[in-house]
Structure 1
Amino acid sequence: MVYLVGAGPGDPGLITVKGREVLRRAQVVVYDQLASPELLQEAPADAEIIYVGKKAGAHALPQEGINQLLVDKARAGLRVVRLKGGDPFVFGRGGEEALALANVGLPFEIVPGVTAAVAVPAYAGIPVTHRGLASLVTFITGHEDPTKEASAIPWDVLAQTQGTLVFLMGVKNLADNCRRLLAGGRVPTTPAAVIEKGATLQQRTVTGVLENIAARAQAAAIKPPAILVVGEAVSLRESLTWWETRPLWGKTAVVTRTREQASALSALLTAAGARCLEAPTIEIGPPDDGAPLDQALENLPRYQWLVFTSANGVTAFLTRLGERGKDVRALGGLKIAAIGPATAQALEARGLKADVVPAQFKAEDLLAALSPQVSPGDKVLLARAQIAREVLPQGLVRLGVEVDVVPVYQARQVTEIPPAAQAAFEQGKVDLLTFTSSATVHNFALLVGKDRFQTLAQNAVVAAIGPITGATLQEYGVTPQVQPEDFTISALSRAIVEYFMSQQC
């Protein structure tokens, strides 16, 4: 079976529910240049990924080759997703690919997508229809088949049309297409816009009127992929611009959390307009010695309290509990403390509710919250990282509590910087550095070197999740400009947005 799936343009969030569903079941994914690369992460890890993208003058595979590839994979009995930017049946050559399959009797399904002809203008603040301005919209190819003897586009008719004209894939022929509309009688002062890389974080929009839009686009060095929009509705952009006016628009942010955890912060910053480069500085792994954890798991009834100081600790502890043939029922006689809301949420996701969560999210605050709850002689199991501050266990001991400190995971240093982040570091194109723990600070310094760290920090905004992380930054001569009062990812994101908005005033 072959699924011809429209991925929508640019923004990976524009794929349909059904499109994402079939992508997650794909055995082969055949994708083109205009489909967001982020969507490939939705495919199964063992899926075969094949790029067949086309750029002006450079085709990874000619259309006939793509057609045959789909036929061959389908004949092999594989579940194939042909992932196409926009909608497969709107200037996407999806019809040709479907016919190639139909002609040899192979099954296929069409999964329509959000067409770039509507979505890209919308991301530029341009409605393609609007009462009183445009009751008609026409989609036109910006570059016809060059082998045609004469144009099949009725330029005179289009020129007299009072609705919106949307030309797709027309950068090369932009000046010529505008000239033809003017020659057909379209008013020279008709509003027009060219949108490059629409619905992406690299979107650029150039506006003008029909008689000068080509020259303005050339002056701005607009490159494919781009869309030309002509019509009175373009005049609404000045009031309706939204995508390019978000508070972090045009900013490049570096996220140093683990690969597993980076997505939460990246999603929040991306929603505010930032381009996020994930540069994990730590990876989570088992402790060097797992025997203390296994011993504690076999002796859970002896403890009165189970204390967690991170969401990673919750995950590692409960995963090992399951591997030992137990489940959360084994914790039935214990009270549970969590250092903060993220840790408490990790517990709730496993069906456990923390009895104690401090108002502030440091070891000192957790100790203060536990002090009236514990009694001398109580036994506490502290499940934490292999390397951590000693504030909490030492404080509990002073209260007369017996504490077993059990490493349940360790944060290991990452030794390689992803290529995109490395290029940004070398070019000095970083606007925001984010740190969510002292470990991310230490390991980032080891990754890039102290001198480069300081240089990057001097030319960027530095954000720390809390005072402990902020103090660690100070050890490297770096002072964070952003530090939220609540030490959570959402609070960090809000503080970053507020900082940048304050700088714009």
Structure 2
Amino acid sequence: MLNDLPLARKTIYVTGTQKVQTIEELVQANGGKVKSFPLIDVQECIAADDAEKLAHSKSYEWLIFTSQNAVESFVKKLHRAKQNVDTFLCKIAAVGTKTAKALENSGFTVEFMPSIFSADVFVKEFPLVAGKGRCLFLRGNLAKTTIRDALACDEWTVYETVESTKHIQALAESLIQEEEPIVIFASPSAVKVYAQYIVPDFDWSYITIASIGHITTAELKSYGATVDVQPDTYTMKAVVEHLIIGGL
């Protein structure tokens, strides 16, 4: 019976820009449903010297990517400049399976991934492989300085994350109708928007809170929220799997 499934009567809210298809089938198969209300928007940073920077990026031994957004923005620049992935002889480092998959789907070969998908672990393990090779970190405007400071690498901001409030009213109206809402936060930026616009009407205790990554968790705690779910693997699928086995 449907009511016996582990996610019966539960609605999982996704607040980031990630596509929900990767978890929707899994949630539905276990009796739940998924709703997406993005609280952030991601935009490629486009500049007049992009082609010049692309050419210069080929001089590095390693290119470092920590998000799908960085991969997508970088590839857009390649296409705009009519350049081919095959012309890049750099080695590629990635943080996260989704990032690695985006790179491989674009034609890159990932040479290194850390054992745990966090910048803190990356900066400890990466030098053991890369040595003193010159590195370029392809980042977003809100990326922490952890990688730059630890590795003394160069950076190129290829995308920016901006707040989005266009779904606030719809999110609030939806939350009030749900019996057991579970909200997944995948970035500090989404946490900030939720805290500013939703929490005044719906206290944190109204929802079950799932967090992807320790940085997002720290942001939630800074607003007084209690994190109910934070899997060791920093992916949306890991959150859902945790919920399915009753990890609340």
TM-score, length basis structure 1 = 0.46
| Match status 1:247 vs 2:16 | no
1 CA distance for matches of 2:161 and 2:28? 26
Q: Which residue of 2 aligns with 1:498?
A: 245
Q: CA RMSD of the aligned region, Å?
A: 2.1
CA deviations 1:375-405 (Å, max 9, x no partner) are: 44x32111111121000011001xxxxx221
1 CA distance for matches of 2:222 and 2:174? 24
| Match status 1:314 vs 2:78 | no
Which among 192, 197, 221 is matched to residue 442 of structure 1?
Answer: 192
- 1:496 match: secondary structure: helix
CA deviations 1:140-194 (Å, max 9, x no partner) are: xxxxxxxxxxxxxxxxxxxxxxxxxxxxxxxxxxxxxxxxxxxxxxxxxxxxxxx
| Match status 1:257 vs 2:16 | yes
- 1:302 match: secondary structure: coil
Q: Which residue of 2 aligns with 1:452?
A: 201
Q: Any unmatched runs of 5+ in structure 2?
A: none
- 2:237 match: secondary structure: helix
- 2:184 match: secondary structure: strand
Q: Which residue of 2 aligns with 1:273?
A: 31
- Whether the aligned pair in 1 keeps the contact of 2:23 and 2:240 (CA below 8 Å) is yes
Which among 93, 97, 102 is matched to residue 346 of structure 1?
Answer: 102
- 1:261 match: secondary structure: coil
Assess, with a 3 A threshold, how the Cα gap between structure 1 residues 262 and 293 changes in structure 2: closer, same or farther. farther
**Amino acid in the other structure paired with 2:87:** A
Which among 148, 163, 167 is matched to residue 417 of structure 1?
Answer: 167
- Whether the aligned pair in 2 keeps the contact of 1:463 and 1:480 (CA below 8 Å) is yes
1 CA distance for matches of 2:115 and 2:233? 9
Instruction: Map 1:329-340 to 2 at 5 A.
Output: 329-331=86-88, 333-340=89-96
- Whether the aligned pair in 2 keeps the contact of 1:255 and 1:266 (CA below 8 Å) is no
Q: Any unmatched runs of 5+ in structure 1?
A: 1-240, 398-402
Q: Which residue of 2 aligns with 1:488?
A: 235
- Whether the aligned pair in 2 keeps the contact of 1:277 and 1:421 (CA below 8 Å) is no
Assess, with a 3 A threshold, how the Cα gap between structure 1 residues 300 and 388 changes in structure 2: closer, same or farther. closer
2 CA distance for matches of 1:290 and 1:372? 34
TM-score, length basis structure 2 = 0.91
CA deviations 1:453-493 (Å, max 9, x no partner) are: 5x1x2022111112221111101100111111111222111
Q: Which residue of 2 aligns with 1:59?
A: none
Assess, with a 3 A threshold, how the Cα gap between structure 1 residues 293 and 261 changes in structure 2: closer, same or farther. farther
**Amino acid in the other structure paired with 1:324:** A
Instruction: Map 1:88-487 to 2 at 5 A.
Output: 241=1, 243-258=2-17, 260-287=18-45, 290-291=47-48, 293-331=50-88, 333-376=89-132, 378-397=133-152, 403-417=153-167, 420-426=170-176, 429-448=179-198, 450-452=199-201, 455=203, 457-487=204-234
- Whether the aligned pair in 1 keeps the contact of 2:175 and 2:181 (CA below 8 Å) is no
**Amino acid in the other structure paired with 2:136:** L
CA deviations 1:31-58 (Å, max 9, x no partner) are: xxxxxxxxxxxxxxxxxxxxxxxxxxxx
Runs of 4+ in structure 1 displaced over 4 angstroms? 426-430
2 CA distance for matches of 1:452 and 1:313? 34
Assess, with a 3 A threshold, how the Cα gap between structure 1 residues 256 and 347 changes in structure 2: closer, same or farther. same
- 2:117 match: secondary structure: coil
Matched residues, percent identical?
Answer: 28
2 CA distance for matches of 1:293 and 1:444? 34
- 2:64 match: secondary structure: strand
2 CA distance for matches of 1:468 and 1:434? 14
2 CA distance for matches of 1:317 and 1:268? 31
CA deviations 1:1-57 (Å, max 9, x no partner) are: xxxxxxxxxxxxxxxxxxxxxxxxxxxxxxxxxxxxxxxxxxxxxxxxxxxxxxxxx
- 2:42 match: secondary structure: strand
- Whether the aligned pair in 1 keeps the contact of 2:168 and 2:197 (CA below 8 Å) is no
Greater mean deviation of Cα atoms: 405-414 or 418-427:
418-427
Q: How many residues align?
A: 248
Q: Which residue of 2 aligns with 1:231?
A: none
- Whether the aligned pair in 2 keeps the contact of 1:356 and 1:369 (CA below 8 Å) is no
- Whether the aligned pair in 2 keeps the contact of 1:316 and 1:409 (CA below 8 Å) is yes
**Amino acid in the other structure paired with 1:395:** A
- 2:112 match: secondary structure: coil
2 CA distance for matches of 1:320 and 1:462? 36
- 2:129 match: secondary structure: coil
Greater RCO, 1 or 2 (C-alpha within 8 Å, sep 6+): 2
- Whether the aligned pair in 2 keeps the contact of 1:290 and 1:408 (CA below 8 Å) is no
Q: CA deviation at 1:429?
A: 4.8
Q: CA deviation at 1:447?
A: 3.5
